[in-house]
A and B are shown apart, each in its own frame.
Chain A
């Protein structure tokens, strides 16, 4: 299982971009990189995932290093509602797997 390392906490100002890093040096070639976030007392929310290429969706962008040992989640304009714990995880793309292995995550604080 791919292990991940993230900073414990980060701060951002509202309406500024945020770059959340994740190291996953043990990731295998078929592991997808997933990002989720969790607000207090709620279930995790899917943010984005990718394999090799950078990915964009309405919530965020995912930049994956060429060697795939790290990735960065980019929130283009942080809002107060983006304050949450952000988790990155590796999960296999091969059949019969797909479990997410969560680390401690990064607690993002957004200041008005």
Chain B
């Protein structure tokens, strides 16, 4: 059973461009979480999705950030008009059940120049 996959592993964007981060959960997992880790800081929850539904987006910035988890395909975290402060490692995790253990991907390291 393959683990959680994230791509790209590294992404460089200029200020004002769009960043799309993809996450394929483990087989059979329908719960997906996104977390952000700023340099030298801890992990912060962003959003929790189940198939086709956003369940909790309390950690997501109100503007420029959006997430989806379609019926088919990976979950996508989209950041529009990136700024330098968006530079961080973005981790996706999947779980087989609500409140269960979460399995993390290797992360996407976004650098905004």
Contacts and interface: CB of A to CB of B under 8 A. Distances in A.
Interface of A: 32, 34, 36, 38, 42-46, 49, 87, 91-105
Nearest to A95: B98
B73 interface: no
Contacts of B33: 98-100
Contacts of B91: 43-44
A34 B42 contact: no
B105 interface: yes
B59 to A, nearest CB: 7
- Greatest chain B CB density within 10 A among A46, A87, A98, A104 is at A98
Given A43-B104, A45-B104, A87 B43 contact: yes
Interface of B: 4, 31, 33, 35, 42-45, 48, 55-56, 58-59, 91, 93, 95, 98-107
A44 B56 contact: no
B105 A49 contact: no
Contact of A94 (B31, B48, B95, B99): B99
Given A100-B45, A101-B45, A46 B105 contact: no
B55 A96 contact: yes
Nearest to A93: B99
A99 B45 contact: yes
B106 A43 contact: yes
